Every structure is written in C-alpha cells, then in structure tokens.
Structure 1
Amino acid sequence: MTTTTFRKLAFATLAAPFTLGLAGCDSAPEGGAATSEPIAPIEAPAGQQWTDIVNVSESDGYIVGNPDAPIKVIEYASLTCPACAAFAANGAEQLKSEYVSTGRVSFELRNQIHGPHDLALATMVRCGAKESFHPLSDQVWTNLQQVLQPIFDNAEAVEQSLTLPEDQRLVQLAEIGGFYDFFAARGLSTDQARQCLADADKYKQIAENSTTQSNELDVTGTPTFFINGRKLDANSWTQIEPELQRAGAR
C-alpha cells in the first residue's frame, strides 16, 4: 500500500466535524422477507453459553454465538460511525441476550474502514484474544467522542504520520490519538498494541477486506445489516428485531 493510496483511504473524514459521522449510515432498501416457521432454541455445549462463544469467519468477521445457527446476522460497521455507536448502545445487547443466547441466531461483526484512524482502531480491537473483539469495539463506540476528538484536533500531525514507513504509520497515529492509554485501561498493553499496529501486512489486509467485501455486497454505508445473506433496509433495533422474528427467531 503506497503512501498515496493510504492517504486516500478516506482521509478526508478527519477534517469533518464529529456529527458528520452520521453521513453514509443508511442501508440500501431491500424487499421484505417471507415469514418462516418458528425455530426451536438450540442448546449450547455443556458448561457454556452461546454469548461467550466467539469465532473468526472466513471473511475476518467476529461471530458471537452458535457458528451453525440457522439465522445469521452480519453487521458491517465502522468504529468511527455514531450510528454504529447508537446500535451498540441500543440494540446489540438485546440481540445477544434475547436471540444469540438461544442458539438460533449468530451475530457477526465486520469492519468497514472509514479512514486511517478507523483502520488503527480496527487493528487494535483485533490485537488481543478473539473474545475481546466485541467488548473492545463496544468500548470504542461508548466513548466515541473521547476517542475521536484528539484525531480531529491534530489532523495535521495525523496527516504527517501517513507519510512514514508502513510499519510506523499507525503506530504514530495511535500515539497522536491517545489510543494506547485508552486500550491499556481496557486490558491491551501498549507493547502489544504497538506490535499489532506495526504489522503492515495485517492492517493492509483489514483495509483490503473492507474494500473488497463492500464492493461485492454493495455496502455503501454503516451500519449495514444482513440476515441470512439478505441486506436489510434497517439500521436500528426496532427495525431489525421484527426481521429476526420473521426469519424464525420466535
């Protein structure tokens, strides 16, 4: 990934006010689905709960719940998107506690990257154990203003960091943004985070997955939700829950 390509990775978002992060957060309209027969709950393995089981998909998404669940929910989300933060606060917990817990539904979270700061965050939430991906993502969304404000306040320094060698770009960007202290307070050591951010092959793969999958699935904004491969015209829990029930989660 050249310096020019890296800087083109939605760097313009750094100059936008925080509230403009809501732009591009609507999913494209799709037709409704037919109502399916109710699906019986599926027991978790002995001594476990489905909401504690996490697997990484072939698409580099992080799946909570029964990996063989008959109803599969996928969310494309940006860690810098206020609408994604709103769903994390007002939908994700209900989805997990009321539906994923039954074994009938799995919930896969995939990153759509909206800039180099977003790429740094996506790399850091992947840096620890796979079970920490969802909780760390939720922490970023819960504290979104705190996380993003130093990036907006220091846009020139961030832009300069993107001219560094590949193994130093995100390392320096995270320093400017105060990301190390934020994540260290949540269990990810600074040394471990720096090592992950210095792995250019890893972070470039995250960015490439975002671009490729967004193009293939016509994901034009975040959050975008799919149920069993069907893109929803929905981005709030009040819209998504009826779709789950129509799919048989009742």
Structure 2
Amino acid sequence: MFAAPSPKEQANMSFSFFSLSRRRLIVAAGAMLLAGPALADKAAAGKVSVEELMAPNALPDIVEGDANAPVTIVEYASMTCSHCAAFHHEVYPALKKNYIDAGKAKFILREFPLDPLATAAFMLARELGDKRDAVVDLLFAQQKNWAFVDKPLDGLASVLKQAGLSQDKFEAVLKDQALYEKVNAVRTRANEKFGVNSTPTFFINGDKYTGEITIDDFGKIIAAKTPAK
C-alpha cells in the first residue's frame, strides 16, 4: 500500500497541473511507503459507523452492484498507487463476478489521491459521469503508460482519448477549481473521519482493512458478514 503525504505536503500540492513532470510528481507525493504482500486471513484494522461512512459526500457515490446487497465494500484508492492498480487488475474481476454481480455485495470506489497527478486523473474520470468506474479501470490497466512516464499529462490525455475525452475538454476539466476541491474534500473527510492514511484502504460493512486483500480473504470476510438465511 502507499502512505498519504502529510497535511503540509498536501497543502503544497499545486492546483496547476500543466507543469507536472515525473520528477515534480515524485517530490509532491512525499514519502510513499511500500508495504509487503497481503496476508492470508486478513484482520480488520478498526471499525467505523456505517451510517457515517455512507453519509452524503462532496461527490456522489457510484455504486456497483445491488444497492440492497447485504455487504457494502468501500475502497479508498489513488490512481497512481500500484497496489490499487494490482487490486483492480488481479482481484476486482473475480470480486465483481462472484460477489457484486451475484448480489452478495455492492462496491463503491472513492477518491483518495496521494499526489497531484492522481487528483487530475480522478477529476477527468468524474467528467465521464456514470462511466467513471470504467475509466478508472482503464487508467489502472494502463497506469504505466501515464503515471510513470516523463510527461504524465501527455500520457493521461492519450489514454483518455480512448474514452472519448477531447483535448479541449481535458484541459478544461483540469482548470475546474470546484471539482478539484470536491475530489480533495472526499480525501480529507476519509482521513479526518475514518483515519484513512494509505491506499488501498477498504471498509467492509464498516470494518477497516488496509493494503491488498486476496479474493480468498474477500470471500471469507463477505461470508462472515452475510446474514444466515
């Protein structure tokens, strides 16, 4: 998992994205700590009020799956986090097939950008409306082509052309101060209310899990939280 920058580092992150370079991105991101692999039988790291967790946010939730599913999974992710990309590539497809599409769980991804480039990517994904999650999956799948290159914004623009986002719209979205503030308000609330300080962080029916979770562990957790028939 990746650790979030300190409040001081976050405050120093510029809203002007257009001079971003790979070097500047690395400096702005602060100290990002690499965690070890996910452990079997992953234990919860705490619990928060489900009612507070699901209260209205600065940006509306996009819910994948049955809204009445007995288990609610909330992921806080950063678009430049390689562990988040690994989850969406290696684990999420099975989670979606076996649990979300089957009506056993619903899934919500929320923005927790760790650096200016991740903020920009989330802003652009939000511009696509109900296609946000599909765009997030696309950006995670092609993360190496935009997040870890010398000209990340050029790479990001190139990837998003596949989703139908024109260059003019791309530049306009990155100048949207209100959207910028909303993305970061989601992040701030997660940090201050729920103690999120790294990505990925999951809340499953209010129980907090940090770092990567295997599909087997998801299965065990969901089964334990599903009411007996």
TM-score (norm 2): 0.74
Residue 97 of structure 1 aligns with which residue? 97
Contact kept in structure 1, 2:45 and 2:207, CA below 8 Å: no
Q: Which has the larger radius of gyration?
A: 1
Aligned-residue offset at 1:118: 0.7
Aligned-residue Cα RMSD (Å) equals 3.4
User: Sequence identity, in percent?
Assistant: 24
Residue 178 of structure 1 aligns with which residue? 155
CA distance in 1, matches of 2:120, 2:144: 16
Show structure 1 runs of 5+ residues with no match. 34-55, 155-172
CA distance in 2, matches of 1:114, 1:143: 18
Matches within 5 A, 1:202-217: 202-217=179-194
Matched residue pairs, number?
199
Residue 13 of structure 2 aligns with which residue? 7
Instruction: Tell me the alpha carbon deviations over residues 30-75 of structure 1, each in whole angstroms, 9 at most, x when there is no partner.
Output: 3699xxxxxxxxxxxxxxxxxxxxxx98333321111222210011
Q: Give 3-state SS (helix, strand or coil) of 2:197's partner.
A: coil
1:25–1:67 CA distance, 2 compared to 1 (3 A): farther
Contact kept in structure 2, 1:26 and 1:223, CA below 8 Å: no
Residue 221 of structure 2 aligns with which residue? 243
CA distance in 1, matches of 2:14, 2:36: 20
Aligned-residue offset at 1:208: 2.0
| Greater per-residue helix proportion | 1
Contact kept in structure 1, 2:35 and 2:211, CA below 8 Å: no
Q: Give 3-state SS (helix, strand or coil) of 1:102's partner.
A: coil
Instruction: Tell me the alpha carbon deviations over residues 73-126 of structure 1, each in whole angstroms, 9 at most, x when there is no partner.
Output: 011111000100110011111111111112231000011111111110010111
Show structure 2 runs of 5+ residues with no match. 1-9, 48-53
1:228–1:234 CA distance, 2 compared to 1 (3 A): same
Aligned-residue offset at 1:24: 6.2
CA distance in 1, matches of 2:24, 2:185: 18
Q: Give 3-state SS (helix, strand or coil) of 1:149's partner.
A: coil
Matches within 5 A, 1:68-147: 68-130=68-130, 132-147=131-146
Contact kept in structure 1, 2:46 and 2:207, CA below 8 Å: no
Instruction: Tell me the alpha carbon deviations over residues 168-203 of structure 1, each in whole angstroms, 9 at most, x when there is no partner.
Output: xxxxx83xx432221012222223322222211111
Q: Give 3-state SS (helix, strand or coil) of 2:101's partner.
A: helix
Residue 5 of structure 2 aligns with which residue? none
CA distance in 1, matches of 2:227, 2:101: 11
1:228–1:216 CA distance, 2 compared to 1 (3 A): same
Aligned-residue offset at 1:244: 1.0
1:113–1:87 CA distance, 2 compared to 1 (3 A): same
Residue 149 of structure 1 aligns with which residue? 148
Contact kept in structure 2, 1:22 and 1:83, CA below 8 Å: no
Residue 6 of structure 2 aligns with which residue? none
TM-score (norm 1): 0.68
Q: Give 3-state SS (helix, strand or coil) of 1:178's partner.
A: helix
Contact kept in structure 2, 1:75 and 1:110, CA below 8 Å: yes
